Amino acid sequence: METKTNKSVLLSVLALAVMAGGGWLLGWTVNTLRFTLDPGLIFILVLVSVFLYVIGASLMGRVVVQTGGHWKYGGFHNGILFALLAVGTGCLLLCLNSGVFPMAWKYFFISWPMALFVLGCCGLCKLHHVPGIIMISVGTFFLVPRFSGIFPGASFNGQFFSTWWPVFIIIGGLLIFFSILLKPKKFFHAHHRHTKGCWDENHFTTQEENRDGKINYKLILSGTEQVILDPVFKGGTIEAVLGGLELDLRRTTLPEGDTFLFVKAVLGGVDIQMPEEWNIEVRSDSILGGISDDRIKVREIDYTRKLIIVANAVFGGVTIR
């Protein structure tokens, strides 16, 4: 127990150090290095500073969740992360409005591309590699014109697109490559004993074999419609990345007790149809996404059987009908 406490304290100190380091690097870059370094390097250092702060905030959220035993509360980690991001944004605004940072940077930091960049950093911290890289890349792309307004005399646009933007693409490609290399099942689920998959010119879809009423669907850049005909539905896993699934559960039943269905929607959607009398519990852990129960409420609910839906939506959604 003491060892676990010491580890939590060390991780907390590390998280605070990373957050403070990101803030210090940002201040040093904006106030000092901008007079001596190439604009392209300044741009990268600023984004690295923001990324470091997000890493520290995410680590602090995990430490709080682990120490307090809050895993059962969906979204608790996201709540801590959002609170720390709000603190960082407030400190940044205070520095800008008080003159500690040049006011010219306000248009750069307080903008939707920066928000998209931060969300991408959050996605990477939660190991959502592909959507995280996509959001970081898009946010970075649209931050370029705002950054150019701070250095109007520099040929930053040309330098960025000829040098630094390809570097971002290379880094993004290497991240995806090593993520797939280290955890291939997480991306493609290509295990030959359990998975059937195929490529076509538009997308990749895999579907693990449904066994004994348990489902496993993995969809990447694709969509499908499925009807479950097994007498008893025993839950399973659904992952939709830039794709969607329409699942019909109206012809099956639940076993007694709790049944778990894990749903992940990343820039995609999952639509689930089920009987109105089913007892449903939703546990959501989402980033700019959500889950909604659009069923007609009835009184004849069977409380001896429960379907627990653990949903994780990142720029996606899960709908129950």
> What is residue 125's predicted lDDT score, i.e. its pLDDT?
81
Instruction: Flag whether the pTM goes above 0.75.
Output: no
Q: 3-state DSSP helix/strand/coil percent for the chain, to nearest 5?
A: 50, 25, 25
Q: Where are the domains of the chain?
A: 2-182, 189-320
**Under 8 Å CB-to-CB from 137, ≥6 apart: which residues?**
120, 168, 169, 172
Are the C-beta atoms of 252 and 210 separated by less than 8 Å? no
Q: Residue 243: enclosing H or E segment and its boundaries?
A: none
CB 16 within 8 A of CB 60: yes
Strand 305-314 vs strand 279-284: parallel, antiparallel, or unpaired? Answer: parallel
Judge contact between 93 and 110, C-beta under 8 A. Answer: yes
Q: What is the pLDDT of residue 207?
A: 46
Bridge partners of residue 313, in order along the sequence:
265
The per-residue pLDDT for 105 is 92
pLDDT at 33: 87
Q: What is the pLDDT of residues 258-269, one digit of tens each?
A: 999 998 887 677
Identify the DSSP state of 37. S
- What pLDDT score was predicted for residue 26? 94
Show the low-confidence residues of the chain (pLDDT under 50): 71-74, 185-208
Beta strand ranges found along the chain (DSSP E)? 195-199, 204-208, 215-220, 223-227, 236-241, 244-248, 257-266, 269-273, 279-284, 290-293, 305-314, 317-320
| pLDDT recorded at residue 287 | 64
